[in-house]
Structure 1
Amino acid sequence: MPCSKKPDYLQSLLLLQWPLSYLAIFWIVQPLLVCLLFTPLWLLPALYFVWFFLDWKTPNQGGRRSAWVRNWRIWTYFRDYFPITILKTKELPPSRNYIMGVHPHGLLTYGAFCNFCTESTGFSKIFPGITPHLATLSWFFKIPIIRDYLMAKGVCSVSQPSIDYLLSHGTGNLVGIVPGGVKEALQSMPNTTTLILQKRKGFVRTALRHGAHLVPTFTFGETEVYDQLVFHEDSWIFKFQSYFRQIFGFYFCFFYGQGFRQGSFGLLPYHRPIVTVVGEPLPLPHVENPSPEMVDKYHALYMDALKKLFDQHKVQYGFPDTQKLLFL
């Protein structure tokens, strides 16, 4: 059920800045840079584009995070809009590296972003010595300025070279991966607990190759903040969504939430609590070339651990005791 929280217009505006900032960079700042090339200030954008091409390896080599950006005060308003919290169930010793499974994807992964890409929920204090990275689509890092904004918050490319680099340079690195990917966004509806995970085993293979521990997480409330219109696979709208995904790498979803006024419809998410529960790390051996049977074994163990984590906390966070976690 929607929360009865009174509307806070400042929180709503600062929440909107998150998606709107990327649109502003893409549609305003980038065209402005190109236009400046034909003015007396041409040297400024020219230097940036030269640096952009020389710096192309950075997204695959740990990125360029900024403590200043991660600690912006606007993220506390972002957090308090829902609100968003993180719950630690076990320690993550900084002497190891970790791959964290982020479930579910939701529509805009509010919980994962707030908890792992900002310090508004106190990640560094809760898990001292751990450096979090949230992996996302690689093509974002080919877009000028947007790639720098993403890296400043600790976002990294989901490409294999990027993850390999983070897991092979020192310890205390945590890479958050959403195994369900953009396809799972189409499963994002209130009261559903369906994850696309049955055949998503690449993250387990990568963890074995580096001896990284697997950390299951489940974000309760992530799929509750929007309603979505879902279409049959034979419909022309679903085919359009699939075609859109082939071109841009993500699905065009038809969703709605609330407006600025309480009880109105709009594109703002509902005021519903989001809680990311971080489970116990699953130790994996270091195997350079894991066999398919070994990958299957630890993938099954990971799914069992995730199911156990969900079952332990589902009633506390609003699901009935009979609710099951389903894997597709």
Structure 2
Amino acid sequence: MTDAKTQRKGFLQAISVLQWILTFLFLGVTCIVLMVGLMFTSLWLLPTLCFIWLVIDWQTPERGGRRKPFVMRWKVWQHFRDYFPIKLVKTAELSPNKNYILGCHPHGIMSIGAFGCFAAECCGFPEAFPGMRASLAILAGLFRIPLFREYLMGGGLVPVSKPSLVHLLSKSGTGNAVVIVIGGAAESLASHPGEHTVLLGQRKGFVRVALEFGADLVPVYSFGETELFQQIVFTEGTLGRRLQDLFKKIAGFAPCLFVGERWVVLPYRTPITTVVGSPISVPQRITPTDEEVDHYHQLYMDALSKLFHEHKVSCGLSESHKLCFI
């Protein structure tokens, strides 16, 4: 009986992760194909109404969206969490009287740790940080896709655009933790098991936004994120790499080719430990200078490096592992 329960639990966990992977990869495209296809059928009124609603509701994603707590607390996310498992580690308090920008690293292939800890409420963020509300910011273009945008907003996701950040950091009161995966699409191409590379050296826009609104910066590192898939690597100059770079310029994200542990796309059962560091106090500067941006950017890089080295051993790495900035 125990073996049957264990097998059933493992199956539910695998199916929960599989549905998320398929959603990540295909749901947006499916919604586009469905809307366009229905336009040429007797059901043309349905996509027409969807497109009209899209125009009317165009700015909602950048005004905080429409999060649905019941979506963020679906039972499926608990199975999703337990598959790896994903764990959230708190190292310092975050005051609900302030706003924060949490920089999450590394991107990995799909930012599974960031989603599990800051979008799906299955890892205890509200309990660990009472009074705080996390908003995971993702590609703004995804919120232009009919139907798909409703699902994203329901899950508490927001666009990583300037109007969206301005709204959350200046028009939604305090207690907002805006989570940005700083490395973005480009960093996904540097995701390889055993390596810890973050694209941060020239990524300073988030620091400028933090200064403009006096939002404290918080480094976050997800140990295990780069161990989930084996990526098929195309070296610089090859046709495959050129196609990846071209696609990233057009679509905003890189089409990584990868394989997982089972069913090709199912990731390895590797623990993910997402460690939230101590906040870096940032003053408000309506028009920050380049020198101020550089100063707080360096403070952030130092804090991220310190966070990595302080927790790497407890998270399964050896002392020899290094964090590489590019």
What do the CA deviations read for 1:277-319 (whole angstroms, capped 9, x no partner)?
A: 0000111001001100010000000111111111110011121
What do the CA deviations read for 1:145-194 (whole angstroms, capped 9, x no partner)?
A: 11111111111111111101110021011111111111100111111111
CA distance in 1, matches of 2:202, 2:35: 44
Match of 2:126, as an amino acid? S
1:212 aligns to 2:210 (yes or no)? no
Segments ≥4 residues shifted beyond 6 Å: none
Who is 1:223 aligned against? 226
Q: Given that residues 66 and 154 in structure 1 are in contact (C-alpha distance below 8 angstroms), is that contact kept between their aligned partners in structure 2? A: yes
SS in structure 2 of the partner of residue 100 of structure 1: strand
Who is 2:3 aligned against? none
Q: Given that residues 109 and 226 in structure 2 are in contact (C-alpha distance below 8 angstroms), is that contact kept between their aligned partners in structure 1? A: yes
CA distance in 1, matches of 2:27, 2:187: 27
1:319 corresponds, among 317, 320, 325, to 317
Who is 1:174 aligned against? 177
Match of 2:228, as an amino acid? V
Q: Given that residues 105 and 178 in structure 1 are in contact (C-alpha distance below 8 angstroms), is that contact kept between their aligned partners in structure 2? A: yes
Who is 1:12 aligned against? 14
In the alignment of these two chains, the number of paired residues is 318
Q: Given that residues 30 and 144 in structure 1 are in contact (C-alpha distance below 8 angstroms), is that contact kept between their aligned partners in structure 2? A: no
Map 1:60-75 to 2 at 5 A.
Answer: 60-75=62-77
Who is 2:60 aligned against? 58
Match of 1:51, as an amino acid? W
Who is 1:144 aligned against? 146
Q: Given that residues 119 and 156 in structure 2 are in contact (C-alpha distance below 8 angstroms), is that contact kept between their aligned partners in structure 1? A: yes
Identity %: 47
2:297 corresponds, among 296, 299, 304, to 299
What do the CA deviations read for 1:191-210 (whole angstroms, capped 9, x no partner)?
A: 11111101110000000000
CA distance in 2, matches of 1:227, 1:21: 20
Q: Given that residues 38 and 47 in structure 2 are in contact (C-alpha distance below 8 angstroms), is that contact kept between their aligned partners in structure 1? A: no
Structure 1 pair 214–81 and aligned structure 2 pair: CA distance change class (3 A)? same
Who is 1:117 aligned against? 119
Who is 2:280 aligned against? 282
CA distance in 1, matches of 2:87, 2:98: 24
Who is 1:272 aligned against? 270
Q: Given that residues 27 and 148 in structure 2 are in contact (C-alpha distance below 8 angstroms), is that contact kept between their aligned partners in structure 1? A: no
* Aligned CA-pair RMSD: 1.9
Who is 2:203 aligned against? 200
Instruction: State TM-score, norm by structure 1.
Output: 0.92
CA distance in 1, matches of 2:45, 2:244: 41
CA distance in 2, matches of 1:322, 1:25: 41
2:30 corresponds, among 15, 23, 27, to 27
CA distance in 1, matches of 2:235, 2:199: 18
Q: Given that residues 37 and 45 in structure 1 are in contact (C-alpha distance below 8 angstroms), is that contact kept between their aligned partners in structure 2? A: no
Deviates more, 1:69-78 or 1:30-39: 30-39
Map 1:224-263 to 2 at 5 A.
Answer: 224-259=227-262
2:84 corresponds, among 82, 85, 106, to 82
Alpha-carbon shift at residue 85 of structure 1 (Å): 0.9
Deviates more, 1:240-249 or 1:281-290: 240-249
CA distance in 1, matches of 2:40, 2:89: 49
Alpha-carbon shift at residue 322 of structure 1 (Å): 2.2
Q: Given that residues 37 and 43 in structure 1 are in contact (C-alpha distance below 8 angstroms), is that contact kept between their aligned partners in structure 2? A: no
> Any stretches of 5+ residues in structure 1 without a counterpart?
261-265
CA distance in 1, matches of 2:48, 2:246: 36
> Any stretches of 5+ residues in structure 2 without a counterpart?
1-5
CA distance in 1, matches of 2:37, 2:301: 48
